[in-house]
Structure 1
Amino acid sequence: MARSFVVGPETVRMLELGHPWVIADRYTRRWPQARAGEVAALTDEGGRFLATALLDPGDRVAARVLAFSPIRLDGDWLRTQLTQAVARRRQADLSATNALRLVNGEGDGLPGLVVERFADFLLVQLYARSWEAHLDLLTAVLAETVRPAGIYLKTRPRQTRELAAKGQTGKLGRLVWGQKASFPLPVIENSLTFLVDLQEGLHTGLFLDQRRNRQDFMARVGGRRVLNLFAFTGAFSVAAVAAGARQVTSVDAAGAYLDRAAENFRANDIDPRKHEFLTGDCFRVLEELVRAKRRFDVVLMDPPSFSTTRQSRFTTRGGTSELVAQALRLLPNGGLLICSSNHQKVDLADFLKEIRRGALQAKRELRVLATFAQPEDFPFSVTFPEGRYLKYLVMEAGGVPADGPGG
């Protein structure tokens, strides 16, 4: 029988609206002592049942809702949730892809838990300590339901920004079930090959939420000169070359990422020496490209929500407008500026305001041709707006004076 934990009026209101989080407050600080992962019944001050939740005492999100009804977190319940999540992926076009997200946390009714499939292997990522107590059950049901060759676990560390800035991420993943994979592991996305690692660092090397956007990107870049800022391991760059881009320039502050980008080029039988890789802070590199009077037909910027280099600190909320202003100095009339952000706390309206500031600063016109978000294997509930985090805008640049940048 689950113990009862009382929540305050504000949390009651949010739970009644279907939001799955209990944010720590003066009511949660009065809860009886509990361990991370305890399954609890949440009630109002009158004892009325509200939800069944996993507890994370001491965290900002003190509890995450599993169901708005009494349940037991056992094999039968978890098997049902996972089976439904797998079935939900039939809505996505995965005909040329073997890398996808199988469980998207709150969007699949399993808050704080992410499961991704990379070829024959699964990567489980825990964004809440509460799931650690149920790891054996989770891996057993995943093995039975999905039948992978092996299952890797990656617990998201706290202070990830600081660790990444110091280069101290190291080997964060480990095998928890089945056979070992050989890394780098090749996977297929949109018929292209990418190399991933389920053990090293914070990221696998391929952001699956951009799959459909890369497909759209490929339809726009044929015969064009492409600049890919914050290129990471070069997935968009590979997609551009494969789609017939004339020249691709990839920029990232981390040379190690660009080395992996070159490996992704070679994995697709593309000679990286025929294209350009620039290591450096994107603001500084943009300034150098402007001074050199370089021109591009397509500029893509997909920065992390936060990054730190020796030269600068970037945040989506504060740096997008400057990036846009500089990028527009490289684009002719009719050129495409593609801006993406995965910052959960910046909604589409705020993102557009930042882009507008950059366009006004550059005295250029920008027309939005298309907007996209994450694909179908990243579902989110309408009661959890934080789940719609990815913003991807395709824009046409105009307004260059007759004596301004040319083609």
Structure 2
Amino acid sequence: MREYTKFYITPKGERAARSGHPWVYAEEITRIEGEYQNGDLVDVVTNKGKYLGTGFVNDHSKIRVRLISTNTNDKFDADFWERRLRYAIDYRRTVMPGADFKCCRLIFGEADHFPGLTVDRFNDILVAQTLSLGIEVRKELIFNLLYKILREQGEEIRGLYERNDVKIRLLEGMEENKGWFAFAEAAEPGEPLTEIVENGIRYNVDVENGQKTGFFLDQKYNRQAIAKIAKGKHVLDCFTHTGAFALNAAAGGAAAVTAVDISAEAVQMTDANASKNGLDKVVKGLKANVFDLLSELVNNKSREYDFIILDPPAFTKSGSTVKNAIRGYKEINLKAMKLLPRGGYLATCSCSHFMKEELFVQMLHDAAADANVQLRQIEARQQSPDHPILWNVPETYYLKFYIFQVV
């Protein structure tokens, strides 16, 4: 006899659960049998009482239950979580071999069946973000197991830094915070700073103050693709953040790279990273609003650049603002296409799940038509495989990345 409280759900919710989607929304619940506290494990069943899965419940969230298992035989003890962690780590060792394993996403939420949990590895520091209450109440067990497994495998890990300074935690009934997690067996972690090597390029990473978890890992192999075609090019890298695309282009032999960001701090970091890698003669940081800069270059009929990279932040974080986002994406892509000479190169992307691939592609078609150019596709790419896309969970697919020649 199972001891978990039962949540009966609608036929619509049942179809989603049977298709492999792990979220049960509040409006899909028809009745509840038993008592529970937020963060508890509960069973989700059909209206006829047939078992569908077990997950974390939270009344504060629109996603009332986040399923973690569809196996009635699972016992959710330390062994269960250790198996699941080993599975995720083994996958990363396979798809991010060698040096890439030192700098990758180890846990990618629902795609690894850890709802609401992100863990990134930056050399000797792990950075975690916990966005579901069910994981929050079990994080001591999960984080200590993760540390134990990595140490067993010979990996040097000096600490895990929590970046829970995000508003979404408030929607889950949790407080915002950040700071070092206290492992059961580990020395004092020291400063929240480390150095990583990605694609042979060195970066300083500040896990306390950097955006999100400190550095964007999902574009790793897209940056390599940029480096392959950058030789001899005059590159404009827009929304450069820490200069990663700019530095990869420079390492690939670009003649000159202008790395643009509206943040003075980002420009300083880009210049520091360029200097660190001996690329400061090629890469120059520029503090500017990308929209204004592109307009100015178009108005001046500039032909300074023959390779433009557009890596903007997510212009939309909800379905309700997609139309505005499309306008923003179109504006920068249209201007880039107008700026590039025939035979020039454009790399462009969207990192928003809500900007569906078909919408992004249509926007590019419309921008090309308005710019009176044709796009010759070189590559269509996605997020790197340490951010795996689970086909049953479309929310795990968010990064669309294209490289074109403008003809």
TM tier, smaller: 0.7 to 0.9
| Aligned partners of 1:185 and 1:197 also within 8 Å | yes
Quick check: 1:126 aligned with 2:130?
yes
Aligned twin of 2:121:
117
The DSSP-based 3-state class of the residue aligned with 2:398 is: coil
TM-score for both structures, normalised by structure 2? 0.88
Aligned twin of 1:253:
262
Matches within 5 A, 1:262-341: 262-271=271-280, 274-294=282-302, 295-306=304-315, 316-341=325-350
Aligned twin of 1:176:
182
| Aligned partners of 1:153 and 1:176 also within 8 Å | no
Quick check: 1:89 aligned with 2:98?
no
Which 10-residue stretch deviates more, 230-239 or 258-267?
258-267
Aligned twin of 1:166:
none
The DSSP-based 3-state class of the residue aligned with 1:394 is: strand
Q: Per the alignment, do residues 65 and 331 of structure 1 end up closer, same or farther by CA in structure 2, a change over 3 Å counting?
A: same
Aligned twin of 1:395:
404
Separation in 2 of the partners of 1:271 and 1:323?
Answer: 27
TM-score for both structures, normalised by structure 1? 0.88
| Aligned partners of 2:234 and 2:306 also within 8 Å | yes
Q: Per the alignment, do residues 186 and 73 of structure 1 end up closer, same or farther by CA in structure 2, a change over 3 Å counting?
A: same
C-alpha displacement at 1:277, in angstroms?
Answer: 2.2
C-alpha displacement at 1:201, in angstroms?
Answer: 5.0
| Pairing partner for 1:240 from 234, 249, 254 | 249
Separation in 2 of the partners of 1:212 and 1:354?
Answer: 24
Aligned twin of 1:67:
69
Aligned twin of 1:15:
17
C-alpha displacement at 1:181, in angstroms?
Answer: 4.3
Quick check: 1:145 aligned with 2:154?
no
Q: After superposition, give the CA deviation of every residue in 1:104-133 in whole Å (9 maximum; x if it has no partner).
A: 111112121111111122111112232111
| Aligned partners of 1:123 and 1:154 also within 8 Å | yes
Q: Partner amino acid for 1:234?
A: G
Aligned twin of 2:112:
108
| Aligned partners of 2:353 and 2:399 also within 8 Å | yes
Separation in 2 of the partners of 1:156 and 1:383?
Answer: 29
| Aligned partners of 2:5 and 2:34 also within 8 Å | no
Q: Partner amino acid for 1:80?
A: R
| Aligned partners of 2:382 and 2:399 also within 8 Å | yes
Separation in 2 of the partners of 1:381 and 1:332?
Answer: 39
The DSSP-based 3-state class of the residue aligned with 1:329 is: helix
| Aligned partners of 2:39 and 2:58 also within 8 Å | yes
Q: Per the alignment, do residues 159 and 115 of structure 1 end up closer, same or farther by CA in structure 2, a change over 3 Å counting?
A: closer
Q: Partner amino acid for 2:233?
A: R
Q: Per the alignment, do residues 337 and 324 of structure 1 end up closer, same or farther by CA in structure 2, a change over 3 Å counting?
A: same
Say how many residue pairs are matched.
384
Q: Per the alignment, do residues 193 and 316 of structure 1 end up closer, same or farther by CA in structure 2, a change over 3 Å counting?
A: farther
Aligned-pair identity (%): 29
Q: Which runs of 5+ in 1 are unaligned?
A: 161-169, 399-407
CA RMSD of aligned residues (A): 2.4
Matches within 5 A, 1:205-216: 205-216=214-225
Separation in 2 of the partners of 1:76 and 1:105?
Answer: 19
| Aligned partners of 2:378 and 2:404 also within 8 Å | yes
C-alpha displacement at 1:101, in angstroms?
Answer: 0.8
